[in-house]
A and B are shown apart, each in its own frame.
Chain A
Amino acid sequence: MLLVPCPNCGPRNAGDLSYNGESHARPDPKTCTPEEWRTYLYLRDNPSGWLVENWYCSSGCRKHFKIERHTLTGELRSAILPGSKPGLTKGETK
């Protein structure tokens, strides 16, 4: 099982966290077009490579954070709490 580096709790089994997938900026609901909103809702880059994604440390510190993960190799580059600078924690790499 993948070890996910929670910036607070350290590397934890992925099964102890919740996965929230690819990050997308939310358009302004008052002004956006249907196409913009539905791009936000449905369309995904889904790269076979580096991906910035959201995790929630649901059984530990209960913080949402982002990690940068390579979707093919499983390699991790960084874990970031919202609002903090990138590169906070180096993940274990294979």
Chain B
Amino acid sequence: MAESSVSITHLDSMPKASVRAADGTAASSTLGLAFGSAEQRGDTLVVRVRPDEWYLLGDGAAAMAGGLDLSGFASTVNVTHSRHAVRVTGEHAADTLAKLCTADFGDAMTPNGAAWGNSIAGVTCDIVRDDIVSDDRTGTRSYLLLFDGSFAAYFLGALEDAASEFSLHT
């Protein structure tokens, strides 16, 4: 990734669903995962972002949400338009975010597959580390950031400003 030390991509049309489900419900056991982790299932990234909330991200989100058994105390909301997604990728992705966020982006605390909520540049975000694994098995750091879309113009500006000391590609 020499030509691009950090890149910022606004994924504004990515379908997203939120599933809330209490322990012991069918939806909870179907989605599974430990709190704070993410897993790619087919074309959907499943993220257990809070103890009782999952994000379903990607083209299969609606279908997966629609297919859940919502018996018991469980519900879904389409958050495609509420939560915007930005992907920050590259060698300096973590360095860029470390200028704006208190989180420890090191492997020990936030390994690939980690998911957590944190404020970035004053905006509350849900962060998913899902490194891009290329053919030669060299992972490239990548973070998916979900945040309230009304902040988008400000937030992208702050990210790009932070990234500008590295070699930024948008």
- Direct contact between A and B judged by beta carbons closer than 8 A: yes
Stretch at the interface among A33-41, A57-65, A68-76: A57-65
Query: Which listed residue, B35, B36, B117, touches A59 by the CB 8 Å rule?
Result: B117
A61 to B118, Cβ gap below 8 A? no
Query: B-facing mask of A17-29, CB < 8 A → 1, else 0?
Result: 0000000000000
- Provide the residues of chain B in CB contact with A62, threshold 8 Å: 50, 117
Q: A13-B102, A15-B102 are in contact. Are A60 and B51 (CB under 8 A)?
A: no
- Provide the residues of chain B in CB contact with A57, threshold 8 Å: 117
Query: Which listed residue, B36, B51, B118, B125, touches A63 by the CB 8 Å rule?
Result: B51
Shortest Cβ distance from A12 into B: residue: B102
- Provide the residues of chain A in CB contact with B124, threshold 8 Å: 58-59
* CA of A61 to CA of B124, assembled, Å: 12
- Provide the residues of chain A in CB contact with B51, threshold 8 Å: 8, 61, 63
Chain A interface extent, by class: 10 to 19
Shortest Cβ distance from B117 into A: residue: A60
* CA of A60 to CA of B35, assembled, Å: 11
Closest Cβ–Cβ distance, residue A27 to chain B (whole Å): 29
- Provide the residues of chain B in CB contact with A63, threshold 8 Å: 50-51
- Provide the residues of chain B in CB contact with A15, threshold 8 Å: 102, 119
Interface size on B, residues (CB 8 A): 11
Which secondary structure dominates chain B's binding surface? strand
Closest Cβ–Cβ distance, residue A82 to chain B (whole Å): 13
A61 to B102, Cβ gap below 8 A? no
Shortest Cβ distance from B125 into A: residue: A59
B54 within 8 A of A: no
* CA of A13 to CA of B51, assembled, Å: 20
B50 to A16, Cβ gap below 8 A? no
A9 within 8 A of B: yes
Interface residues of B in 10-38 (CB under 8 A from A): 35-36
Q: Counting chain A CB atoms within 10 Å of each CB, which of B35, B102, B117 scores highest? A: B117
Query: Which listed residue, A8, A12, A13, touches B35 by the CB 8 Å rule?
Result: A8
Binding site for B on A (CB under 8 A): 8-9, 12-13, 15-16, 57-63
The 10 closest A-B pairs by CB, nearest first: A60-B117, A59-B124, A13-B102, A59-B119, A61-B50, A59-B117, A16-B119, A8-B51, A62-B50, A59-B118
